[in-house]
Structure formats: C-alpha cells, structure tokens
Amino acid sequence: MVDKSNKILLTGATGFIGSYIARYLINEGYKNIVATHRKDSKFELLTDQVDKITWQECDLLDSLRVEKLINGIDVVIHAAALVSFQEKDKYLLTSVNKGVTSKLVNLSLEHKVKKFIHISSVAALGKSNVGEEVTENSEWVDSKYNSDYAESKRAGEMEVWRGHAEGLNVCILNPSIVFGAGFWDQSSVKIFGNMIRGQKLYPKGSNGFVDVRDVSKAVLLALSKDINGENFILNSANMSFRSMMNQIADIYEVKRPSYPIAKWIIPISWRLMKLYSFLTRKPTVYSRSTVVNSSEAWTYDNSKSIKMLGLAYLDIEQTISDCARCFLASRKENKNHGVLPLI
C-alpha cells in the first residue's frame, strides 16, 4: 500500500488520461503530487486544480532532468505517451514509448522507488486471431493488425517487466479505447466532434471501450492494494462501432450512419487518407492497421481487473451519453475542451 503522504511523480498530467488521474489523486487526499509538463503544455484540463500540484517543466527525453525529478520520489505513475499512426513518427514512438519508459524504470530502480504504475494500452497485448478474446495472458504475435504505436507500447511494457525482474514493484494497466471529455480535437474523443457534422459511414467491426474515470480509479486501487508484478485489462464493455455511433447521433439529433464500410474499400481508404494527410500536412489517425482493425470484431476480458483490483465499471452507454452532452455544452460555450465530473 502507498501512504497518502508519499511523494508521487505523475507524467502526462496535462494530457487526457493524466489529468483525470491527477484529479482523482487530489480528490482521494494525496497531497504530495509532482507532475511534469512541457514548455508548450496546455493546462485547461486542470485549471481548477493547478495550484494543488507541484509542477516541473521537463522534457522526458532529457535523462539528466528526469534523474533530478526522480530523486526523493516514492511512487511513479507513468501516464505520458505518444499516440500517432503516421509512418514518419515510427522512430519518435519508439523513443518516447519505449525510451522514456526505460529511463524511468532504470532511475526508479536506482533511487529505490516503492511503486511504479505504468499506463499502457490493450494495443500492447497484440492482436492475432480475429474473434479470439484478448486477455492479460494473450501471446504477442507479429500481425498486420498491430500498428507502430502498438509495437512501441509493447516495447515500453517489456522495459517495465524487465524492471520488475530487477526488483521494481510494478503494476501495468491496459485500457481499451478510452472515452471521456478532454480536448475535443485530440485522441479517442475526436469521435464526438466528428459525429456532430453527420457521418454516413460506419465501420463493421467492434472494440472495447472504457471510461477515463475508470482508468483513474484503477490507479487508486493499484495504489491502495499490495499488488506487484501484475497487469490488468481495463475495459468496461465490448461494443460495435455502429452501436456507439448511433447513440451519439441520437443525442445530437442527427441522422445515424447508415452505410457500412465495405471491405473492398479498405485497401483504398487508408491510402487515400495517407495522401490527404500528405497534401494537407495535417496528421491523420488513420493508418493501414487502424482501418483494417475497425472492420474486425475485437473483444477484451476485464474479469481480472474486477476480481483482483475490485474495479466496478461505469456503464459505457452512460459514459457515451455523458461525453456527448459535455461536448454539446462545450460547443455552446465555444470551448475546445470539457471535463467530466468525478464519480
């Protein structure tokens, strides 16, 4: 167990998942939180909580700066990561998602950190056989379904497991697609902005979804329990993309997507997205793997997180409703972000 007076280092605190983890830590009574931020970080997701955190400007790729931060830290919660599906970012993905994690693990071992909680992704568990439920024990297999991002998160996890083998107390959390309110033009919550414009096409596949508040509560549970050397899939429910998109469309009172994306168009579509990104110089969340994945049914087993962590999941349909209504409220106020209330 971690004492609430222990000094906690939280990376990625200004980001989507990290900001909610910070809020839950503060709400739970943890008073000694040190959080990293970049020079250009935005603090809008934590505006009302900024003064309750000790902030340290830090490029996590700067080993000397990170070492100064780790000195005296009792717990590391590593939520910072790079999410990109552009081929040009392959090296940077490895540098951040593997390299930074490796440095934090090494320094945590050197400075005798009591606990290391790593926010990973179900992507790090890999995808091989379509229709086969993914569990914490699923074997990684090289596959066309694994993106460069997935491979970088897998490599980062291997560094955490290596640290565990060398004596570091670790816990790895593997959330599925995370929903919540944040910056509406970033990460997985972009869907709530896209749907308001009306969308005619929907992917045929399905995936796992989890509330960002459940991810944060899983962190609190990992801190409060004597758990070491375990990883947990965080997944509220497995749901088809069509059902998810229909629910958002109904709340927005726009027409539901009515045309499935045919498999024959998949090889064409991701190439068109790549060309569009090149011509407009705008990043895209679409790649060969993301487009192919969205046409298949992927399911994730959350039983370990329920039994061992004791996590009680929020209803994902309520999460979708909360997010959609929060988006509408943000839009009315001309804000590019929103924050869900803690539950």
Which letter does DSSP use for residue 204 in this model? S
pLDDT tens for the 343 residues of the chain, in order: 789 999 999 999 999 999 999 999 999 999 999 999 999 999 999 999 999 999 999 999 998 999 999 999 999 999 999 998 777 888 999 999 999 999 999 999 999 999 999 999 999 998 877 778 999 999 998 888 888 999 999 999 999 999 999 999 999 999 999 999 999 999 899 999 989 988 888 888 999 999 999 999 999 999 999 999 999 999 999 999 999 999 999 999 999 999 887 665 555 554 545 544 445 455 444 555 566 678 889 999 999 999 999 999 999 999 999 999 999 999 999 999 999 999 9
Burial class (CB in 10 A: 0-12, 13-18, 19+), 167: exposed
Residue 277's pLDDT is 46
Q: Are 181 and 339 in contact (CB under 8 A)?
A: yes
Could you tell me the pTM of the whole model?
A: 0.93
Q: Are 267 and 176 in contact (CB under 8 A)?
A: no
**Predicted local distance difference test score (pLDDT) of residue 319:** 98
Report the Cα 51 to chain-centroid distance in Å: 25
Q: Using the 8-state DSSP alphabet, how is residue 306 labeled?
A: I
Take residue 75 and report the two structure tokens written for it. Answer: 């717990």
Instruction: Give the homologous superfamily in CATH for domain 8-181+207-236+299-312.
Output: NAD(P)-binding Rossmann-like Domain (3.40.50.720)
Which contacts of 139-148 are long-range, i.e. CB under 8 A and separated by 24 or more positions?
144/288, 144/289, 144/292, 145/289, 145/292, 145/293, 145/296, 146/289, 147/85, 147/123, 147/287, 147/289, 147/290, 148/84, 148/85, 148/87, 148/89, 148/90, 148/93, 148/287
Report d(CA 239, CA 90) in Å as an integer: 29
Enumerate helices (H) and strands (E) in the chain, giving the number of each: 12, 12
Q: Which amino acid is residue 94, in one-letter code?
A: T
Closest by alpha carbon to 302, among 240, 219, 237? 237
What gap in Å lies between CA 308 and CA 256, rounded to an integer?
39
Instruction: Decide if 133 contacts 300 (C-beta within 8 A).
Output: yes
- Candidates 116, 114, 341; CA nearest to 211 is 341
Inter-residue contact 16 to 45 (CB < 8 Å): yes
Distance separating alpha carbons of residues 175 and 258, to the nearest angstrom: 29
Residue type for 279, please? L
Q: Is the dihedral of CA 78, 120, 2, 106 positive or negative?
A: negative
**Strands 206-211 and 237-240, sheet pairing:** antiparallel
pLDDT of the residue at 270: 46
CA distances from 307 to 211, 219, 221, 304, 311 (A): 18, 15, 12, 5, 8
pLDDT of residue 276: 43
pLDDT in tens, 99-125: 999 999 999 999 999 999 999 999 999
* Residues 211, 217, 220: CA angle, nearest 5 degrees: 155
Distances (CA, A) of 203 to 4, 263, 267, 290, 291: 45, 9, 14, 11, 9
User: To 10 degrees, what angle do helices 148-165 and 101-110 make?
Assistant: 10
